[in-house]
Structures are given as C-alpha cells and as structure tokens.
Amino acid sequence: MDATITGKNYLDQFITGMTALISRGLENLFGSGVNSPVLGGVTWADLGTVLCLVLFVLLVNGFAAAFLRRKTRQAAATEGRELRHHVFGALGKPLYVLIWIYGIYLAATPLLLKLPADESLHFIRVLFDKLFDLGVFAVVFWLFFRSRTFWSRGWRL
C-alpha cells in the first residue's frame, strides 16, 4: 500500500470508482445519451450520479435516525439505563450533521474531480476540502461538548 495515500485521496478514489459504476449503470439504463455534456465537462451521467449519491445519503440518514430513535426508546423503557438514553439522545444531532457533511462531500466530489487542472479552479477544490475539514472538526467538537455534560453530572460508562 502506498504510504502517501491520505484519507481524502482514498475517499476520492472510492468516489471515482462509485461514479464510474453508477455512470455505467445509468448508461445501460438510459443509453449512451447520458454521456453527452450538459455544461463544460459535466455530463448527464455525472448529474445522475450526484442525484444517486444524494439519495443514498438520505437513506443512510433515515436509517441512522430510525436506529437511534429505537435505541433511545429501548434505553428509556428499561430501568437503570438512564445513561444509555442520554448518550443515544446526544449522539443524534451530531451524527446527522456528520452524515450530511460526508454526504455533500461524497455527492460533490464527482463534479469537483471534473474541474480542469487549471490553477484558478484548483482553488475551488482546496476551499471545498478546507470546508469539509472544518465541518468534521466542528461536529467532533460538538459531540465532545455534548458528552461533557454527562461527565459533569457524575455519570460513568
């Protein structure tokens, strides 16, 4: 394995593979017309891929919400599980925001990878990466801050 591969490079490679897979599926479904350009180098297949990825994020968010709701109800129903109830309640909002941050990054990356290697357009990719990093940091900090209230109340895991 190459030691220079970072998390974002791995995510970009994963998204590139997913984009190719979804694009081939859309081409098989709708014909070769999906590879015609819409705006610059962006094709209908690229837009369809972005739509598919956004729908995937909606599904993941829905499953996470249903799972946390069910676990929160189960923890509230059992006696002596007050801590678990609060932990699942505290995880909810930060987890949903984190799913959407990764989802937006996932959905926008196929379009960002289509940008030409022009220096002025490279700034857009760098800015998007920095916003992604800032968003993940903010959610982790938010989660840490919410969990801090449990320790201040004297609860232990």
pLDDT at 33 over 90: no
Confidence of residue 39 (pLDDT cuts 50, 70, 90): confident
DSSP letter for each residue of 39-102: ETTEEHHHHHHHHHHHHHHHHHHHHHHHHHHHHHHHHHHSTT-HHHHHHHHHHHHHHHHHHHHH
The model's pLDDT over 64-94, given as tens digits with 9 standing for 90+, comes to: 888 888 887 777 676 555 666 667 767 778 8
- Detail the DSSP E strand segments found in the chain: 37-39, 42-43
The model's pLDDT over 86-135, given as tens digits with 9 standing for 90+, comes to: 677 677 788 888 888 888 888 888 888 777 777 667 788 788 888 888 99
Q: Which residue has the higher pLDDT, 113 or 61?
A: 61
Confidence of residue 157 (pLDDT cuts 50, 70, 90): very low
Q: Is the pTM of this model over 0.85?
A: no
* The two structure tokens encoding residue 89: 């309640």
